[in-house]
Structure 1
Amino acid sequence: MNAFNETIKHYDHVDILINNAGILDDSIWEREISVNLNGNIHGLILGMEKFLKTYRQSEEAVIVNISSVCGIECYGFLPVYCSIKLAIIGMTRAGCGSRGAGTNNKVRQKRKRLDR
């Protein structure tokens, strides 16, 4: 929240909001859920409800939600992490439901793995 507020102070608007948080360690699953799920879902909802509606300058404002191949290819040895990343993909594809109503939503999902 502080980073966003500082950005608004400096630039007066936000047209691109990148929503990315993550840790990968199923041995500390409660922390993993707190950081990955709560951080990303809250970021998506706040982005749709408040930030872009209030602070965007153009109609083409964008929220980029970063998930993982683990949300598409579920691995049994990472059940918590994969479930969280799948939830982020689901929320993105749903366009945040009624929170996105009346907006010019264009949802795109990159399905290919990005090689380094």
Structure 2
Amino acid sequence: MGKLDGRVALITGGARGMGAAHARLMVEEGATVVITDVLDDEGAALAEEIGAVYHRLDVTDEDAWASVVSSVHAEQGAISILINNAGVVGFSPIATATTEEWNRVIGINLTGTFFGMRAVIESMSSAGDGVIINISSTAGIQGYSNLSAYVASKWGVRGLTKSAALDLGHRGIRVVSIHPGPIRTPMTDGFGDEMTQSQPIARFGESEEVAKLALFLAADATYSTGTEFIIDGGATVGQALQPPQE
């Protein structure tokens, strides 16, 4: 028996990285998994490999959300798990950040999360219970330089999670956010190991570690909602200071 037997999970940005790790683990635990992405070749190949279903989905397209959710509900059953994982990052200081880049990052990371939550409410309500797991970031806990749009989007996801938890609790839907720190994914390929050396756990995290947290939230954390769960190797704990030299 798997922890997710009989449940239908929809994962955005599921073709690679953390999304792919979520998909693999949830299939292993018995869920019917629907991978969505705009990376069609990678998404379809992964779905075929692990026994999942693939749908193309641009998370900024609310009509596409309605279409995908309707198809999944009709073909796979009521959605009881949504992982809003799709995200992008853009580096630029606020003085030179363009409106186009701001809108792109906010659109995918925050508006796409809003569209996803809104789209699954009726399907999830019909399932009798459900959980929405929004992937934020440690950038939703603290600020980072040169990442104004990304930080704003991830703080927004954190706040949206709390508001939605209040709105949807009476429907039997829990809403939580995960806040990964440095995780080794295609998004962090350009960063070296020095990025993590001041952390208590001085290494990059793995996507599979985040997936295990998501599984816990979906299957076991049945009294948690509106809460952020940080997985960052201790990066946001504080600063390790050396005593002054005498």
Report the TM-score range of the alignment, normalised by the length of the smaller protein. Answer: 0.7 to 0.9
Alignment of 1:47 with 2:47, yes or no, is no
The alignment's TM-score, normalised by the length of structure 1, stands at 0.76
> Which is strand-richer, 1 or 2?
2
In structure 2, the gaps of 5 or more residues are 1-64, 92-96, 175-223, 235-246
SS of equivalent to 1:110: strand
Report the Cα offset of residue 114 of structure 1. Answer: 6.2
SS of equivalent to 1:88: helix
Match of 1:110 among 216, 229, 232: 229
> Which is helix-richer, 1 or 2?
1
Q: Classify 1:62/1:114 alpha carbon distance in 2 versus 1 (closer, same or farther; 3 Å).
A: farther
In structure 1, the gaps of 5 or more residues are none
Q: Select the structure with the greater relative contact order (CA < 8 A; seq sep ≥ 6).
A: 1
Structure 2 Cα separation of the partners of residues 114 and 46 of structure 1: 33
Structure 2 Cα separation of the partners of residues 41 and 3 of structure 1: 15
- Counterpart of 1:19, as a letter, is N
Match of 2:134 among 44, 52, 65: 65
- Give 2:109's aligned residue: 36
Structure 2 Cα separation of the partners of residues 79 and 36 of structure 1: 13
Identity %: 25
Q: Over the residues paired in the alignment, what is the CA RMSD in angstroms?
A: 2.4
Structure 1 Cα separation of the partners of residues 147 and 114 of structure 2: 19
Is contact 1:47–1:63 with CA below 8 Å preserved after alignment?
Answer: no
Is contact 1:15–1:62 with CA below 8 Å preserved after alignment?
Answer: yes
Match of 1:90 among 147, 155, 159: 159
Report the Cα offset of residue 83 of structure 1. Answer: 0.8
Q: How many residues align?
A: 110
- Counterpart of 2:168, as a letter, is G
Q: How does 1:11-26 map to 2 (within 5 A)?
A: 11-26=76-91
Report the Cα offset of residue 101 of structure 1. Answer: 5.1
Query: Which of the two has higher C-alpha Rg?
Result: 2
